[in-house]
Amino acid sequence: MKRGICWFLLVLTSGIAFADGPLKPEPLNQHTSLPDTWPDHWLLVHDLTWFKFLEGRMLVVDPLAADVAGQFKGSMSSSLNGAYERSLKRNEHYIAETFWSRGNRGGERTDTVTIYDRATLKYLDEIIIPPKRLSGMPKNISTAITPDERFLLIYNFTPSQSVSVVDLESRRFVGEADIGGCGFVIATGQRSFFSLCSNGTVRVVHLDDTGRVQGTQTSPQFFDADEDPLFETAALSPGKAVFPTFQGRIVEIDTRREMPRIMKPWWLTTSQERGWRPGGARPAVADASGLLYVLMQPDGAEGTHKNGGSEVWVVDQKTSKRLSRIVLKNWGIALGATGKGENRLLVVTNGDLGLDIYRIPEGAFVQTLAVAAEAPLLTLPVN
C-alpha cells in the first residue's frame, strides 16, 4: 500500500540508472486543478456520511458528465455535518466544521470556519468560532451569508440558541446574537437576518457594519408550529425565502429589506388534493429563473413529513400557480437545483441515496450520477 509507493519513490529518486525506454520518467508532486470559474451547472454535494460522521465531505461534481471520472471533480472536508457557504468575489469556500480532540471518542470540541481556495480546493485558513453550532441533519439555513459576502452567520444550539457572526474580510469571529426560542438563519436586507421561532413568529436581528447586534424585532405570529409547522428548509432566491408547511401551504417571505415581509400563506393543493403533502429532507428549492419546485407525496399524514415524494410540482412564484407536475423516475427524498437559463437542472436525492438529474422546468430525466455518496441530502449550485 502506502509503504510500497514510498519505497518506489525512494528508488526512483535514488539515482539508479534506468534504461531509456519509450516512457520517460515523470516529475513528482503533480496535482490537478480546477478552472478559476466553474460552469454554472456544476454541483456541490454535501455528504453527511452518516456511517462515519467524522469524515463528512463536500464533493464538487459535474452532473452532466458521462462517468465517475468526468463527474467527480474534487472534494473538501466537512467534519461532523459541516455547513457550506461561499464567496464568489473572494473565490473562497467556507465550511463550518466541528472537531473533537480525540476524534471519534470525543474530548475537547473545536468549531471552525474552514476556508478553501475556490479553484484549487486547497486549505487556506480557519477561523475559530464558539464550539456551539447545531449538530444535526444538514439544513441549508443552518448558515447564511450577507448579500455583500461580508458576514457569515452560523446558527448555534447547545441547547441555548444563538447566532455566531463572522467577519469574512478580517477572518474573525465578531460576536454572538441571542435568539432564544428560535432557530436557523436567513439573511434579509443588507445587514439583517431572521430566525424561525417555535411560537409561530420570526425573530429579526439587525447588525451594524461591524457585525454587532444593533436591534431585534419579533414578527406577529403567522404560523402554528403544532398544527401546521413550516419546514425548516427554505427555497432561497435573491430577495425571497419560501417555506412549505407540513400540510401543504406555501409561506413566502420577502427578504429585500432589513425587515422581512411575510406574505399571506396559500395552499399548494386544491381542497380535493389535500392528501398530497410536501415531504423529505429538503422539500422545496428555487431555480435560477425563480421557479419553485416542491417535492410532493400522495397520502401524506402525521409523521410522513420526512418520507419524501413521488412528484415534483413546479410553481410560478409570480402568480402562485402550479405550472406542471413532474412524475419522478425514482422516489425522492431531497431536492437541489443548479444551472442557469437553458441549462437548469433539478437534482433529486432518491430513496437509494443516488442523485437523479432532470432538466427543468420540463422535468426530462437525464441520468443517475455514478458518483456515490453515503448521505447526499443537501446539494447546492456552485454559482
Binding site for another protein (CB under 8 A): 1, 3, 49-55, 77, 79-81, 97, 99-110, 112, 123, 126, 134-137, 139, 157-159, 182-184, 195-198, 225-226, 229-232, 302-308, 331, 333, 351-354, 372, 374-375
Contacts of 2-7 with C-beta under 8 Å, sequence gap 24+, read: none
Q: Rounded to an integer, what distance in angstroms lies between the CA atom of residue 102 and that of residue 109?
A: 9
In which residue are the cell numbers 485558513 written?
125
We find the least distance from the C-beta atom of residue 288 to another protein, in angstroms, to be 27
Q: How far apart are the first and last CA of the chain?
A: 38
The partner residues of 293 in beta bridges, in order of sequence, read 285, 314
Q: CB neighbours of 303 closer than 8 A, spacing ≥ 6?
A: none
What is the three-class DSSP state of 99? strand
Minimum distance of another protein from residue 332's CB (angstroms) = 10
How many CA atoms lie less than 13 Å away from 231 in the CB half-sphere?
A: 34
Q: How far is the CB of 290 from another protein (least distance, A)?
A: 25
Based on CB atoms, which residue is closest to another protein, 204 or 291? 204
Nearer to another protein, 197 or 288 (CB): 197
Q: How far is the CB of 20 from another protein (least distance, A)?
A: 27
Cα separation, 180 vs 159, whole angstroms: 9
- Name residue 203's amino acid: R
Q: Which residues pair with 368 in a beta bridge?
A: 356
Query: Given the complex with another protein, which of 72 and 184 has the nearer CB atom?
Result: 184
Give the shortest CB-15-to-another protein separation in angstroms: 18
Question: CB-wise, 78 or 338, nearer to another protein?
Answer: 78
State the burial class of residue 267 (Cβ atoms within 10 Å of its Cβ: 0-12, 13-18, 19+).
middle
- Shortest spacing between CB 289 and another protein, in angstroms: 28
Q: Output the smallest distance, CB 333 to another protein, in A.
A: 6
What SS3 class is residue 4? helix
Q: Report CA torsion sign: 295, 297, 300, 303.
A: negative
| Burial status of residue 219 (CB atoms within 10 A of its CB: 0-12, 13-18, 19 or more) | middle
